[in-house]
């Protein structure tokens, strides 16, 4: 896979961002080797091993718990069927093999957010392995291997005075999150740049959201990422000393942290130093990674098979049944929309970024011209959704309302500015655009004779602009069109006004 | 008056010669009288028991024929079984004062049947031991000789049944912890097939070996209690959902034509000659009843003890990690988290628990896992396969339950000699088989137990053989000196 290596720093972006510009030459002598581990909470109703709700955010501390997720003496776990199915679905979307036999293991370590003193996870027989994810980075295709996708349980959360538990004066434990199903997606070290790593995460998150297993929230931590980064001399096959990077809570943080780490390691190596195998945390405020612990303190997790859970046999019939529930994935959908509606690759990618957007587009494109639907969704609707922080499918207007509005526009019943004004007005409140147009008489003025009278009045009242246009200043026409629109209360059909003005001024 | 069985009490309750409340009062009075010398209980649960006795009285009045034979009958629970709102310590200081907010499945099934819980019985800390001397709250005595141990870890349960306080008690058996104390205390003790009784609500020692089971005064009673607690449970994924059938169906069928195997390795070195003699006499009785006996071999028996003492500690090291002082039980406060962990666990756990946590942690450690844990799992498979092969030729196995009779407290102070107590019981746990111990005589005045082992899910066959033997002998009617005072 190394043949797809993208030169780090070769595009000049590195030197633009680097805090230590002198390392730039050092960076280009090395190739970065990056592997990502993603933890994604599953959108199941209940927790991984008990009946408590998997929705834990915003609840009073420790209220979303039961004897099982509190790890009380005598309790036993019971596997959440839906979580297994979601993990299999994810694995299939990532082209993984699903072995017919899988089991859970205990990962043993002490920490106050881990109520049983072990996490139920999967060690040597994960639910799936050997998949891949394909995407493009700066126009070049990248295929990143997926080592495995496995299932485990999330921990609780700690709230302490100070940054570090060990030095905090007091700490409070909240186990509302403990036991929420967590999927771990381990990627191969096939990524060669911070850009590639970011793109991998964007695509992975998109797929998880498409298939409905994860809500993709990096800030709240339902989608979390750790990275392993090492450097090697360009052209070499050997692997360098690996550093694990944690605490990256946004795509931007991932990109910055990896870029920083690549430069830091290059500087150490170029200076003749050696790297330590360690865990480093990204500190956003300092724009730097900071050492957290070195390998001497690495845990021995003493994995062993979870004796409270019999192994799971997932036969091929089960896997096929799950496969049949797979929705069309974003890359395939973008390709199909390109072909079906003649969209550009860029437009198709934007319109299929989220499944709801793609659904909206397909619904609209079946009712109004595809290009019109694309322009509105990517333009005014996207801007409005962003500004009001309400996606179209959750807005009052909804996809159906927008379709009705665009049908009026397409039929010439209303003009563009009216449509835009109605979009803004009805976006949150909702309503039937046709009824509003009827009620307020917003229908387009397309009576040529009536318009012609107004056109003449405007030309008479704006002699200077008329003269400018006649003298060859095209821009002057715009002023006149604007005046006509104003005189008609915005209802005139702009193309008609344009034609009439040109005829009169010819 | 003498100590009676569940069957006898169920009959008396229906003919009106006694009431649940009267049985309870007698049991409590007897327990209180015996406790100073016996220490079978960590707590008496008078309030709970009175409520349950009153409810059982109403149930019996409403529907005497429909009510369970357990309705209104007093009983006791080993203190590793969780009861909502009732202090449950597992015999450990680290859980001192802890009251579970829930009741486990097996216990709830008994409560639903109208059982009356007299108290929580003494046991080795976290069920780790064979004498009940590892209880953080002091040892229990043997009703046949209170200077001696009742066995363990379910020693309190065995002692209270042998003392005639209650006709039955629940215990848990990980390597012999029901059968061995039953043998040493002269009562019946039954360990079901692994996966027949839900472990939900049983404080875990070694999850792949633990099973809940009854200690009783008769084989029929053991089958009655087993029938009430066994069967699938959605809260325990290791609990088999297949129908139980009627465990009492085989009682009275006799052993005519049954092929019984005697494992050579269970009768040899290490077995007290007098114990061997009693067991051989018992085998002769079975033969006289029409069973055919043959010697069989379980050649990997010698590796059973070491296999067990890797797997059980490995699981226990993980199962006991939750006792960290953070959320429940004992906490030794310290500004440093690590120190808090260390001090809490140092003060909260006893010597034997610490030893096993250390052993298990070591066995699972990186670099040692293959040599210890993985190898032990392989040997475990071999042991299970040897049983399976033997069961192609025989219907059940008979052997001693314990290599010796009850020993004097403090006599076995080195761990290895204590571990030897379970040498003929723990292979049964490793293979997940059902096993029972029934009284089969005395040596000279201390009880000896006969162990009957059957293939997985053939729990009823264990009852069949044990019942036939019991009915042909008088041993089960022998009463300990303390039982003579039972009302």
The chain A residue lying nearest B94, using CA atoms, is A73
pLDDT at B396 over 80: yes
Mean pLDDT of the region A191-209: 97
- Does residue B70 form part of some domain? yes
Q: Do A67 and B101 touch (CB under 8 A)?
A: yes
Q: Are A193 and A6 in contact (CB under 8 A)?
A: yes
Count of the separate structural domains present in chain A: 3
Q: At what angle do helices A433-440 and A416-429 cross, to 10 degrees?
A: 120
- Does residue A292 form part of some domain? no
pLDDT at B216 over 90: yes
pLDDT at A22 over 80: no
Mode of pairing for the β-strands spanning B74-78 and B116-121: parallel
B321 touches chain A (CB under 8 A): yes
Cβ-based burial of B43 (10 A; exposed 0-12, middle 13-18, buried ≥19): middle
Q: Do B321 and A117 touch (CB under 8 A)?
A: yes
- Does residue A197 form part of some domain? yes
Mode of pairing for the β-strands spanning A140-153 and A128-137: antiparallel
Contacts of B409 (CB under 8 A, 6+ apart): B131, B133, B139, B141, B147, B148, B149
Size of interface A-B (CB pairs under 8 A): 106
What pLDDT is attached to residue B324?
A: 96
Taking alpha carbons only, the member of B168, B172, B100, B181 closest to residue B139 is B181
Mode of pairing for the β-strands spanning B259-263 and B292-296: parallel
pLDDT digits (tens, 9 = 90+) for B274-293: 999 999 999 999 999 999 99
Kind and range of the H or E element at A24?
Answer: helix A24-28
A296-300, B186-190, B296-300, B444-448: which has the minimum mean pLDDT? Answer: A296-300
DSSP classification of residue B333: -
A407-411, B110-114, B165-169: which has the minimum mean pLDDT? Answer: A407-411
The CA-atom distances, in angstroms, between A412 and each of A323, A407, A439 are 45, 9, 17
- Does residue A425 share a domain with residue A491? no
State the nearest Cα–Cα gap between B329 and chain A, in angstroms. Answer: 10
Q: What percent of chain B has pLDDT over 90?
A: 94
Q: Do B202 and A74 touch (CB under 8 A)?
A: yes
Task: Tell me if residue B177 is catalytic.
Answer: yes
B7 touches chain A (CB under 8 A): no
Taking alpha carbons only, the member of B133, B13, B140 closest to residue B69 is B13
- Does residue A158 share a domain with residue A58? yes
State the nearest Cα–Cα gap between A126 and chain B, in angstroms. Answer: 18
User: What range does the domain containing A38 cover?
Assistant: 34-234+251-258+300-318
Q: Do B95 and A73 touch (CB under 8 A)?
A: yes
Task: Tell me if residue B78 is catalytic.
Answer: yes
List the single best residue of B78, B94, B120, B200 to mutate versus A (max A Cβ within 10 A).
B200
pLDDT digits (tens, 9 = 90+) for B341-387: 999 999 999 999 999 999 999 999 999 999 999 999 999 999 999 99
Residues of A within 8 A of B317 (CB-CB) are 108, 302
- Does residue A454 share a domain with residue A339? no
- Does residue A93 form part of some domain? yes
Q: Do A165 and B337 touch (CB under 8 A)?
A: yes
User: What range does the domain containing B188 cover?
Assistant: 6-255+456-485
Which of these three, A388, A414, A440, is where a domain ends? A440
State the nearest Cα–Cα gap between A50 and chain B, in angstroms. Answer: 9
Q: Do B201 and A74 touch (CB under 8 A)?
A: yes
Q: How far apart are CA A317 and CA B170, in angstroms?
A: 43
User: In degrees rounded to 5, what are phi and psi of residue A303?
Assistant: -60, 140
Q: Do B318 and A70 touch (CB under 8 A)?
A: no
- Does residue A345 share a domain with residue A478? no
Single out the catalytic residue among B131, B153, B183, B404: B153
- HSE on the CB side for A33, CA within 13 Å? 20
- Does residue A49 share a domain with residue A187? yes
Q: How far apart are CA A95 and CA A132, in angstroms?
A: 6
- The band of A14, judged by pLDDT with boundaries at 50, 70 and 90, is very low
Q: Do A74 and B200 touch (CB under 8 A)?
A: yes
- Does residue A165 share a domain with residue A82? yes
> Average pLDDT, whole number, for chain A?
89
Residues of B within 8 A of A106 (CB-CB) are 318
pLDDT digits (tens, 9 = 90+) for A485-497: 888 878 888 888 8
Single out the catalytic residue among B92, B130, B157, B177: B177
- Does residue A396 share a domain with residue A363? yes
The chain A residue lying nearest B328, using CA atoms, is A72
Residues of A within 8 A of B335 (CB-CB) are 169
Q: Do B238 and A110 touch (CB under 8 A)?
A: no
Q: How far apart are CA B17 and CA B458, in angstroms?
A: 37
- Does residue A11 form part of some domain? no
The chain A residue lying nearest B102, using CA atoms, is A67
List the single best residue of A70, A73, A169 to mutate versus B (max B Cβ within 10 A).
A73
Residues 97-136 of B with CB under 8 A from A: 98, 100-102, 104
Which of these three, A387, A416, A440, is where a domain ends? A440
> Average pLDDT, whole number, for chain B?
96
Q: Do B366 and A300 touch (CB under 8 A)?
A: yes
- Does residue A75 share a domain with residue A213? yes
What pLDDT is attached to residue A17?
A: 31
Residues of A within 8 A of B361 (CB-CB) are 302
Q: Do B238 and A307 touch (CB under 8 A)?
A: yes
List the single best residue of B83, B324, B341 to mutate versus A (max A Cβ within 10 A).
B324
B90 touches chain A (CB under 8 A): yes
pLDDT at B17 over 90: yes
Mean pLDDT of the region B118-137: 98
Q: How far apart are CA B310 and CA B371, in angstroms?
A: 11
What pLDDT is attached to residue B482?
A: 87
The chain A residue lying nearest B106, using CA atoms, is A74
B38 touches chain A (CB under 8 A): no
Q: Do B322 and A115 touch (CB under 8 A)?
A: yes
B446 touches chain A (CB under 8 A): no
State the nearest Cα–Cα gap between A47 and chain B, in angstroms. Answer: 14
Task: Count CB-CB contacts under 10 A for residue B231.
Answer: 19
What pLDDT is attached to residue B459?
A: 98
Taking alpha carbons only, the member of A403, A479, A416 closest to residue A442 is A416
CATH of the domain at B206: 3.90.1300.10
Residues of A within 8 A of B326 (CB-CB) are 112, 115, 173
- Does residue A374 share a domain with residue A467? no
What pLDDT is attached to residue B487?
A: 54
B242 touches chain A (CB under 8 A): no
Q: Do A74 and B369 touch (CB under 8 A)?
A: no
pLDDT at A371 over 70: yes
- Does residue B270 form part of some domain? no
Helix, strand, coil in percent for chain B, rounding step 5? 45, 15, 45
pLDDT digits (tens, 9 = 90+) for A388-405: 999 999 999 999 999 999
Beta partners for A278? A243, A294
- Does residue A5 form part of some domain? no
pLDDT at A296 over 90: no
Single out the catalytic residue among B78, B157, B183, B437: B78
Q: Do B90 and A106 touch (CB under 8 A)?
A: no
State the nearest Cα–Cα gap between B211 and chain A, in angstroms. Answer: 12
Task: Tell me if residue B153 is catalytic.
Answer: yes
Q: Do B318 and A304 touch (CB under 8 A)?
A: yes
State the nearest Cα–Cα gap between B314 and chain A, in angstroms. Answer: 9
What pLDDT is attached to residue B294?
A: 97
- Does residue A4 form part of some domain? no
Give yes or no for a cis peptide into A180 (omega within 30° of 0).
no
- Backbone Cα Rg of chain A: 29
- Does residue A194 share a domain with residue A73? yes
- Does residue A136 share a domain with residue A212? yes
- Does residue A157 share a domain with residue A65? yes
Q: Do A78 and B234 touch (CB under 8 A)?
A: yes
Mean pLDDT of the region A92-113: 96
What pLDDT is attached to residue A283?
A: 94
- Does residue A243 form part of some domain? no
The chain B residue lying nearest A108, using CA atoms, is B318
Mean pLDDT of the region B416-444: 94
pLDDT digits (tens, 9 = 90+) for B98-117: 999 999 999 999 999 999 99
pLDDT at A7 over 80: no
Q: Pick from B98, B199, B238: which is nearest to A310 by CB?
A: B238
Count of the separate structural domains present in chain B: 1
Which of these three, A414, A440, A466, is where a domain ends? A440
A interface residues, B as partner, C-beta within 8 Å: 67, 70-79, 106, 108, 110, 112, 115-118, 165-166, 169, 173, 300, 302-304, 307-310
Q: Do A166 and B199 touch (CB under 8 A)?
A: no
- Does residue B249 form part of some domain? yes
B95 touches chain A (CB under 8 A): yes
């Amino acid at each position: 896979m190394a043949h797809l290596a993208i030169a780090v720093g070769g595009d000049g972006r590195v030197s633009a961002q680097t805090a230590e510009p002198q390392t730039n030459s050092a960076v280009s002598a090395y190739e970065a080797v990056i592997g990502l581990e993603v933890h994604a909470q599953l959108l199941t109703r209940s927790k991984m091993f008990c009946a408590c709700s998997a929705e834990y955010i915003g609840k009073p501390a420790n209220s979303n718990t039961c004897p099982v997720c509190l790890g009380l003496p005598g309790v036993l776990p019971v596997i959440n069927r839906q979580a297994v199915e979601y993990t299999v679905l994810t694995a299939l979307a990532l082209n993984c093999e699903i072995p017919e036999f899988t089991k859970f293991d205990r990962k043993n370590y002490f920490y106050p957010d881990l109520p049983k003193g072990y996490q139920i996870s999967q060690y040597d027989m994960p639910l799936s392995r050997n998949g891949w994810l394909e995407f493009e980075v700066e126009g070049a295709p990248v295929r990143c291997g997926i080592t495995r996708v496995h299932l485990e349980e999330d921990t609780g959360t700690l709230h302490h005075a100070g940054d570090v538990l060990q030095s905090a004066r007091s700490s409070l434990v909240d186990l509302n999150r403990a036991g929420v199903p967590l999927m771990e997606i381990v990627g191969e070290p096939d990524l060669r740049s911070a850009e590639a790593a970011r793109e991998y995460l964007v695509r992975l998150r998109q797929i998880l959201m498409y298939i409905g297993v994860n809500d993709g929230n990096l800030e709240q931590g339902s989608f979390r990422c750790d990275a392993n980064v090492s450097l090697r001399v360009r052209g070499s096959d050997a692997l360098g000393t690996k550093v694990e990077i944690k605490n990256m809570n946004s795509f931007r943080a991932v990109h910055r942290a990896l870029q920083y780490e690549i430069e830091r390691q290059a500087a150490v190596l170029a200076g003749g130093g050696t790297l330590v195998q360690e865990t480093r945390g990204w500190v956003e405020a300092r724009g730097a990674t900071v050492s957290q612990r070195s390998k001497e303190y690495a845990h021995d997790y003493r994995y062993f098979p979870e004796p409270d859970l019999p192994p799971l046999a997932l036969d091929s019939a089960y896997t096929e049944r799950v496969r049949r529930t797979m929705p069309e994935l974003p890359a395939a959908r973008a390709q199909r929309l390109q072909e079906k509606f003649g969209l550009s690759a860029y437009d198709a990618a934007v319109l299929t970024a989220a499944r709801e957007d793609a659904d909206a587009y397909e619904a609209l494109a079946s009712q109004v011209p595809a290009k019109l639907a694309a322009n509105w969704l990517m333009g005014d609707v996207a801007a409005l959704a962003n500004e009001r922080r309400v996606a179209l499918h959750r807005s009052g207007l909804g996809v159906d309302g927008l379709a009705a509005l665009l049908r009026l526009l397409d039929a010439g019943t209303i003009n563009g500015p009216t449509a835009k004004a109605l979009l803004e007005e009805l976006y949150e409140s909702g309503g039937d655009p046709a009824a509003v147009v009827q009620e307020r008489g917003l229908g387009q003025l397309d009576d040529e004779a009536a318009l012609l009278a107004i056109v003449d009045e405007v030309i008479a009242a704006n002699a200077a602009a008329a003269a400018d246009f006649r003298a060859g200043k095209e821009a002057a026409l715009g002023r006149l069109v604007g005046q006509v629109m104003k005189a008609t209360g915005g209802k005139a059909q702009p193309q008609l006004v344009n034609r009439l003005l040109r005829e009169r001024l010819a | 008056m003498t100590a009676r069985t569940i069957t006898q009490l169920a009959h008396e309750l229906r003919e009106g010669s006694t009431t649940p409340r009267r049985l309870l009062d007698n049991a409590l009075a007897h327990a209180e009288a015996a406790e100073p010398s016996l220490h079978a209980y960590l707590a008496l649960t008078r309030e709970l028991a009175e409520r349950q006795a009153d409810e059982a009285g109403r149930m019996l009045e409403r529907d005497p024929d429909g009510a369970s034979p357990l309705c209104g009958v007093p009983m006791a629970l080993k203190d590793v079984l969780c009861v909502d709102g009732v202090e449950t310590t597992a015999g450990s200081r680290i859980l001192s004062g802890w009251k579970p907010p829930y009741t486990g499945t097996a216990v709830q099934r008994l409560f639903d049947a109208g059982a009356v819980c007299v108290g929580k019985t003494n046991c080795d800390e976290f069920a780790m031991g064979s004498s009940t001397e590892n209880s953080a709250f002091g040892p229990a005595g043997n009703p046949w000789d209170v200077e001696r141990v009742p066995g363990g870890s379910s020693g309190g349960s065995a002692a209270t049944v042998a003392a005639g306080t209650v006709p039955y008690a629940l215990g848990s058996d990980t390597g012999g912890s029901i059968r061995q104390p039953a043998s040493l205390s002269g009562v019946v003790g039954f360990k079901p097939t692994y996966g027949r009784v839900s472990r939900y609500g049983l404080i875990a020692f070694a999850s792949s070996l633990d099973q809940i089971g009854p200690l009783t005064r008769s084989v029929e009673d053991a089958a009655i209690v087993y029938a009430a607690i066994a069967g699938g449970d959605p809260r325990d994924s290791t609990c088999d959902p297949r129908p139980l059938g009627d465990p009492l169906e085989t009682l009275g069928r006799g052993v005519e034509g049954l092929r019984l195997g005697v494992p050579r390795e269970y009768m040899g070195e290490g077995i007290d000659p007098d114990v061997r003699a009693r067991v051989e006499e018992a085998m002769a009785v079975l033969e006289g009843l029409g069973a055919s006996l043959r010697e069989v071999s379980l050649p990997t028996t010698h590796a059973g003890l070491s296999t067990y003492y890797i797997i059980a500690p490995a699981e226990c090291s993980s199962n006991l990690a939750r006792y960290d002082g953070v959320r429940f039980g004992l906490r030794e406060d310290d500004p440093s988290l690590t120190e808090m962990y260390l001090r809490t666990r140092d003060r909260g756990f006893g010597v034997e628990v610490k030893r096993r946590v250390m052993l298990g942690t070591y066995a699972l450690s990186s670099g040692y896992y293959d040599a210890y844990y993985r190898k032990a799992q392989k040997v475990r498979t071999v042991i299970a396969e040897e049983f399976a092969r033997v069961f192609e030729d025989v219907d059940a196995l008979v052997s001693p339950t314990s290599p010796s009779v009850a020993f004097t407290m403090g006599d076995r102070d080195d761990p290895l000699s204590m571990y030897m107590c379970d040498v003929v019981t723990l292979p049964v746990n490793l293979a997940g088989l059902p096993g029972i111990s029934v009284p089969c005589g005395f040596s000279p005045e201390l009880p000896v137990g006969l162990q009957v082992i059957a293939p997985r899910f053939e729990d009823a066959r264990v009852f069949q053989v044990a019942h036939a033997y019991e009915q042909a002998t008088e041993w089960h009617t022998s009463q300990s000196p303390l039982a003579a005072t039972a009302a």
